[in-house]
Amino acid sequence: MYSKIIGTGSYLPEKILTNHDLERMVDTSDEWIRARTGIIQRHIAAEGQMASDLALEASRKAIDAAGIQAQEIDLIVLATTTPDMIFPSTACILQHKLGISGGPAFDVQAVCSGFIYALATADMFVSSGKCRNALVVGTEVYSRILDWTDRSTCVLFGDGAGAVVLTQSNQPGILSSHLHANGSYNNVLAAPGNICGGKIQGSPFITMEGNTVFKFAVKVLEEAVFEAITANHLQASDIDWLIPHQANIRIIKSTANKVGIPMEKVVATVDQHGNTSAASVPLALDIAARDGRIKTDHYVLLEGVGGGFTWGSVLLRW
């Protein structure tokens, strides 16, 4: 038995923050941001709009696209770095908002690799027969953990959510998944604050060593592609669509160049929503699925890298 994606969905908050808006907030420019990141705009959650609210909109679209009822979902795996609260999990909150109960629901925390980790986890449940229909979500409200005076980070991130429905299938869907982590880099990309006695200890904002992140990301994203295609006895030329984590267009182009996949076969949406962490891969997947680029029997390779460091890939047959 296999697991197969039968529906996708995504959601971006209504408020748009452009590079020109940021020019009035911090010492930066539209030209600088575009040249170094490829980002034109990002979406910002409204006051009181939580990760579960974004997830709910994306999930409803995915469930509708799958042609099933919410009550048929018997597993929710939700990836987020910005949960609604310390506990309960955002997955449980989403389950309640969908009006369902009974099946397992839990969060996965792997930062920008979160959706890859969540999809690989859900695949194990579905392909083993333990669950029939899984809802896999990536949702983030990074605007809440940004220092808007730090031009090295605040220009990069945005809010959004993406979701897929994964179901049992006799035909190959998810062909393989490959997950990795190296905790020795835990301070390179982090939001190191914590709460003790009701007070924040340390910085609650994102900190990042940009050059280190860039070099590491290009290295492991290249390795992730070759790991996936080697495991499935394929060549890079066999991949119909590469959907990488949408962090920076330079990282995306460097990865594609190193693995020999032309940009015409790469889904890049970072210009429209910035780095949405765990939401970026399912956001891009939904866009490509809905506009018809991804067709039946296409090989689709998803990959991500995030704080931890964590990284990995999932290879699909659509």
Which of 19, 245, 248, 273 does the annotation list as catalytic?
245
Is residue 112 part of the annotated active site? The answer reads yes
Which of 92, 112, 131, 154 does the annotation list as catalytic?
112
Provide the CA 272 distance to its chain's centre, in angstroms. 15
* SS3 sequence of 260-302: CCCHHHECCCHHHHCECHHHHHHHHHHHHHHCCCCCCCCEEEE
Amino acid at 15: K
> What is the C-alpha to C-alpha distance for residues 98 and 78, in angstroms, rounded to an integer?
14
Burial tier of 16 (Cβ tally within 10 Å: 0-12, 13-18, 19+)? middle
Is residue 275 part of the annotated active site? The answer reads yes
Altogether, the residues listed in the chain come to a count of 318
* SS3 sequence of 42-59: EEECCCCCCHHHHHHHHH
Q: Hey, what are 205's tokens?
A: 């904002």
Provide the CA 106 distance to its chain's centre, in angstroms. 16
Which of 19, 133, 248, 275 does the annotation list as catalytic?
275
205 close to 105: Cβ distance less than 8 angstroms: no
So which residues are the catalytic ones? 112, 245, 275
